[in-house]
């Protein structure tokens, strides 16, 4: 039997305490597994280059939120005392801050638990409200999983959904969109900035097109809000989803913009006491809403500076990698994109192996919500990428807090590892010898 001090050092004090507290051995096992996967305390943390998955919270946002966690903790719907009134005024201020970011009226903003919920509310809500006369919804093949899943749920309820294909640069074809309109179309849902390849869709043109046909236009602006200038009236947007943790705000909060003139009606998903205009019942989480508001305000003020800086860093990264390596393809339109999201395919190198080789840089191949599956990204398939290139793609995310040193380090490491992996690759050898890989007939063993 080990002595207590030795056991503590070996297993970590947490595990020892759990034994001391008499927790089951299963809990102790779980602790051990978690701690073995966590990094060593002495190892430096990886560079964060995955700003599309989530963003660190801006310290100014945290400053804004803290008082509402511990001091001003009232329920904003309590009408009868000062705790409620001060929470309510904080929530209303946050609402105004979110509205100002997108050019909306504060009464048109509804707080939700995130962009996924906002997308669900928009698509299912509008679809079901107008279902007696209109049963057709149009979306694209490159949408976020929650949009596609909501559409699938509507299909199960008897709707017809058109999943528009995209051009090879990732943008939707306006002609095709117009042709897919039907007299019974109620909603078009097209995201503003794609989370995997970073392309910016022609939202203004789509909005005007939809308005001319009296069809509601929803856009998932989770990756776009606070990063590119948006105006719901200029772009004729009827519904928009915003996510808190993509704009340096807290996780677990988002917003949906629902136009009031002309009125967009929704069937609410969440029933309850009628908060948030009856569209999303439930106590509004004051600290999270305040955080989202503060994040939106900061984003609005610093948008120009951030955009300039991020595009400078992005250019730096792309130029360095493209200069250092042959056969690197950027997925998505090179012009109409958000510069902070770069999706590169390194030919003849497997994406997952490159990620593991770049162990001290936090990157992803494809979006976070699909990273667990073995299939390559459906977005890359939709833009017509070859399957082998789709497996070799890496997404670099640059944000407000990325430094030039991080970008330089990432580029250099990437070049090094790709070269190393290509040395090991038989496909690369064959290409060097001049063999056309497409002409090879692979046999089964």
Tell me the C-alpha distance between 57 and 247, whole Å: 8
Tell me the C-alpha distance between 283 and 69, whole Å: 14
CB of 122 to other proteins, least distance (A): 15
Buried b or exposed e, range 289-298, using 16+ CB within 10 angstroms: bbbbbbbbbb
CB of 105 to other proteins, least distance (A): 11
Beta bridge partners of 140: 164
- How wide is the angle at C-alpha 208 spanned by C-alphas 381 and 340, nearest 5°? 45
Q: How many helices (H) and strands (E) does the chain have?
A: 15, 12
> How many C-beta neighbours within 10 Å does residue 195 have?
29
Tell me the C-alpha distance between 122 and 120, whole Å: 5
Tell me the C-alpha distance between 291 and 94, whole Å: 8
For other proteins, give the closer residue by CB, 121 or 147: 121
Contact 354, 421 (CB under 8 A): yes
List, by residue number, the catalytic residues.
Answer: 369
For other proteins, give the closer residue by CB, 260 or 419: 260
Taking each helix axis from N to C terminus, what angle separates 115-129 and 145-156, rounded to the nearest 10 degrees? 30
CB of 259 to other proteins, least distance (A): 11
Chain mean position to CA 186: 26
Instruction: Give the closest residue to 180 by CA, choosing from 192, 191, 166, 164.
Output: 164
Q: What does the binding site for other proteins look like in residue numbers (CB under 8 A)?
A: 107, 129-130, 132-133, 260-261, 263, 265, 267, 271, 274, 277-279
CB of 262 to other proteins, least distance (A): 10
For other proteins, give the closer residue by CB, 137 or 344: 137
CB of 22 to other proteins, least distance (A): 46
For other proteins, give the closer residue by CB, 271 or 444: 271
For other proteins, give the closer residue by CB, 132 or 444: 132
For other proteins, give the closer residue by CB, 264 or 310: 264
Tell me the C-alpha distance between 186 and 198, whole Å: 27
CB of 268 to other proteins, least distance (A): 9
DSSP string, 316-352: HHHHHHHHH-SSEEE-S-SSSB-TTEEEEEETTS-HH
């Amino acid at each position: 039997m080990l002595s207590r001090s030795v056991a503590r050092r070996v297993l970590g004090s947490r595990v020892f305490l759990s034994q001391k507290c008499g927790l089951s051995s299963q809990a102790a096992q779980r602790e051990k597994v978690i701690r073995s996967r966590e990094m060593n305390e002495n190892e430096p943390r990886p560079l964060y280059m995955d700003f599309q998955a989530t963003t660190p919270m801006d310290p100014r946002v945290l400053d804004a939120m803290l008082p509402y966690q511990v001091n001003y903790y009232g329920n904003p719907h309590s009408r009868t005392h000062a705790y409620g009134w001060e929470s309510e005024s904080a929530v209303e201020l946050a609402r105004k801050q979110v509205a100002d970011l997108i050019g909306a009226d504060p009464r048109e903003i509804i707080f939700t638990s995130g962009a996924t919920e906002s997308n669900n509310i928009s698509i299912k809500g509008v679809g079901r409200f107008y279902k007696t006369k209109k049963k057709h919804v149009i979306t694209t093949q490159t949408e976020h999983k929650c949009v596609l899943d909501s559409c699938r749920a509507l299909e199960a309820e008897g709707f017809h959904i058109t999943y528009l294909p995209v051009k090879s640069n990732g943008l939707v074809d306006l002609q095709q969109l117009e042709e897919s309109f039907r007299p019974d179309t109620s909603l078009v849902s097209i995201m503003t900035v794609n989370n995997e390849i970073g392309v910016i869709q022609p939202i203004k043109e789509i909005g005007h097109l939809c308005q001319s046909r009296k069809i509601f236009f929803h856009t998932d602006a989770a990756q776009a809000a606070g990063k590119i200038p948006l105006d719901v009236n200029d772009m004729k947007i009827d519904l928009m989803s915003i996510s808190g943790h993509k704009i340096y705000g807290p996780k677990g909060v988002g917003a949906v913009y629902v136009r009031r003139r002309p009125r967009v009606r929704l069937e609410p998903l969440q029933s309850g006491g009628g908060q948030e205009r009856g569209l999303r019942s439930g106590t509004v989480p004051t600290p999270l809403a305040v955080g989202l508001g503060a994040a939106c305000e900061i984003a609005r003020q610093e948008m120009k500076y951030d955009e300039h800086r991020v595009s400078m860093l992005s250019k730096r990264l792309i130029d360095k990698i493209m200069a250092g390596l042959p056969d690197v393809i950027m997925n998505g339109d090179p012009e109409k994109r958000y510069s902070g999201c770069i999706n590169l395919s390194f030919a003849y190198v497997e994406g997952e192996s490159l990620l593991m080789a770049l162990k001290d840089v936090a990157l992803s191949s494809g979006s976070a919500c699909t990273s667990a599956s073995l299939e390559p990204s459906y977005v890359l398939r939709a833009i017509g990428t070859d399957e082998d290139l789709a497996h070799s793609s890496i997404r670099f995310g640059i944000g407000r807090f990325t430094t030039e040193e991080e970008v330089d380090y990432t580029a250099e490491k990437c070049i090094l590892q790709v070269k190393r992996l290509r040395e090991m690759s038989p496909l690369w050898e064959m290409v060097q010898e001049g063999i056309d890989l497409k002409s090879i007939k692979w046999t089964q063993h």
